[in-house]
A = this chain, B = another copy of it.
Amino acid sequence: MLRGGKTGPHRDGWGVGFYENKACRIFHDPNPSAKSPIAQLIREYPIKSKIVISHIRQATHGRVCLENTHPFRRELWGREWTFAHNGKLHGIKKRKLIHYRPVGTTDSEHAFCWIMDQMRLRHPNKTPRPQNIHKDLKELVHDVGEHGVCNVLISDSLSLYAHCSTKLAWITRRAPFGTASLVDDELEVDFCKETTPKDVVTVLATRPLTSDEHWNIMKKGEFMVLKDGLTRHP
């Protein structure tokens, strides 16, 4: 979390959501994460979760305040959906919204509301099958990407969806877990201490977070689905 205002330029707030079943526990802070008491709480009180979605903001559209802090959330089909975006989406606010309206003023939340609207229009009554969710989301995020840079992470509590517009990297770790050196900090993380031998953990980020591991770089326009720690290309 040092990237938020200490070793990185993203000093305009941050947020992290931890899924527990169908609901997501989100901590938001419009203050830089490097000196946040909420970040301190999370460091000292680690919450176990199968899907974690996090974002450190460098404000482009919209002032620095709680309602403009990612990840955003909305309920659809009785599931809590979350959305985090890196990039700028020019003219996205011209897209008309129906069911979902932004609470804040960011281009990102408008894009999320539009995607949720379209998902609801395509499946107004019944929750669609996972394959259809993957297919629709892929199309919709690609469509939104026409407005500019659209690196996004989305979750519906069951899977994590990622779309790479300009930069996203990922790595899957599994037993035997080793150690790795963080890029931003003179710190080595021992994954053995944080995991059990059965765990499979995939991490996605806008750039590799460790210097001594092999990260996979996503291609422009690539869409990815993650479930139970494993990647599944739709």
A25 touches B (CB below 8 Å): yes
Q: Which residues of B contact A101 (CB under 8 A)?
A: 75, 77-78
Partner of A65 from the list B20, B74, B78, B79 (CB cut-off 8 Å) is B20
**B66 near A20: Cβ-Cβ < 8 Å:** yes
Complex Cα gap A37–B103 (Å): 29
A229 touches B (CB below 8 Å): no
Range for the number of chain A residues in contact with chain B:
20 to 34
Q: Which residues of B contact A103 (CB under 8 A)?
A: 22-23, 75, 78-80
How many copies of this chain? Answer: 2
A99 touches B (CB below 8 Å): yes
What is the CB-to-nearest-CB distance from A135 to chain B, in angstroms, rounded to a whole number? Answer: 22
Complex Cα gap A78–B103 (Å): 4
Within 8 A of B (CB), among A1-30: 20-23, 25, 28
**A25 near B80: Cβ-Cβ < 8 Å:** no
A102 touches B (CB below 8 Å): yes
Within 8 A of B (CB), among A55-82: 65-67, 74-75, 77-80
A41 touches B (CB below 8 Å): yes
**B67 near A21: Cβ-Cβ < 8 Å:** yes
A100 touches B (CB below 8 Å): yes
Complex Cα gap A193–B15 (Å): 31
Residue of B nearest to A125 (CB): B98
Residue of B nearest to A19 (CB): B66
A38 touches B (CB below 8 Å): yes
Q: Which residues of B contact A79 (CB under 8 A)?
A: 103
